[in-house]
Amino acid sequence: MEQPPQQQQQQQLIRIANISGRYLVFDPDAVSALRRRANTNGTLVGTTPQQPTQNIFLGLPIELRPEEVDALVRAGVAYVVDDVAAHKSALLSLGPDERRAYIGSLRSRKQAAHKVFAEMTAHKASIAATKADKKKRDPGASEGGGGGGGGKLDGSSAYSRNSQVTSLGVTPTSSVNYVSPDAHALPVEHNRDSERGALCQFMLSNGFYMTPGLRFGARYSVYPGDPLRFHAHFMANEYGWEEEIPILDIVGGGRLATAVKKAFLIGGREPSATKPDSALPSVRSFSIEWAGM
């Protein structure tokens, strides 16, 4: 049975969750679509429950800046949802059978994860037992009583892993199967942050990718393509049309950007395009490059 065009369009839009004022995307398919269709990467901010001190390679969800969200909504690519209200409404609307099915799905996923951990533990224990038998048959292979101590260490490690498996909890990475996609959708808020995001909208609409530029002393790092394939071409800052730009910003930004082989870009919304309902803002931008460096 073919779905109505309106429902098909709603499913194609990317769902952005608003949680305590932060804009997050949890669904990996949505993250991939943002990167492919809207040249928007976001910033990975998630860690794994089993490794909460993870700080090198973060994972889902990704966090989007307010100006990026505003640009995506204006372009008709995404919509924003009050995630807390949506989940509360979904849980309250579940019937007894649906609640049991939801709890059963979590238990089945936990059992599957428990099985994987048990197989890994058994495999490691088998390897440790094989090494211990080899040391017993060939006492000269190891010096002192290292073999016995190693066996005790392997046993305690296996016990520790079994304890972790017993207390294992499964956190679903996405709730798209349990929460209505368009529940508690929020309108676009044209606040000061979104109005100051005109440069972001302008660059995204022209095919550039943008990431935070703090490490290079600017608000944005601007890439001509996917950051996995290209280096940034610009370091960019946005200013108001009548805002005075400190000369130190020009000197410092220009010299720093040029030193790392990039140009320093500044831009702002033109006064003739201040209507909040305009799809694409009119922006003037200037590129500054320090010569002789």
- Among the listed residues 134, 223, 261, 275, the single catalytic one is 223
Neighbours of 109 (CB within 10 A): 13
Closest to 152 in 3D by CA, of 134, 128, 135: 128
- 136 catalytic per annotation: no
**Is residue 45 classed as helix, strand or coil in its secondary structure?**
strand
Rounded Cα gap, residues 198 and 106, in angstroms: 43
* CA–CA separation, 187 and 79 (whole Å): 8
Q: Where are the alpha helices (DSSP H) in the chain?
A: 5-12, 28-37, 66-74, 83-93, 96-137, 146-166, 192-195, 198-205, 247-259
Give the count of beta carbons closer than 10 Å to the beta carbon of residue 201.
Answer: 23
76/67 Cα distance (integer angstroms): 14
SS3 content of the chain, % helix, strand, coil (to 5): 45, 20, 35
Active-site entry in 114, 231, 233, 239: 231
Burial track 92-105 (b if 16+ CB lie within 10 A, e otherwise): eeeeeeeeeebeee
- What are phi and psi for residue 113, nearest 5 degrees? -65, -40
> What is the token pair recorded at 167?
């207390």
- For 217: left if phi > 0, alpha if psi spans -120 to 50, otherwise beta; the answer is left
Q: Establish whether 220 is a catalytic residue.
A: no
Indicate the DSSP class of residue 87: H
Based on the residue annotation, tell me whether 262 is a catalytic residue of this protein. Answer: yes
Q: d(Cα 67, Cα 193) in Å, to the nearest integer?
A: 7
Which sequence positions are flagged as catalytic? Answer: 223, 231, 262
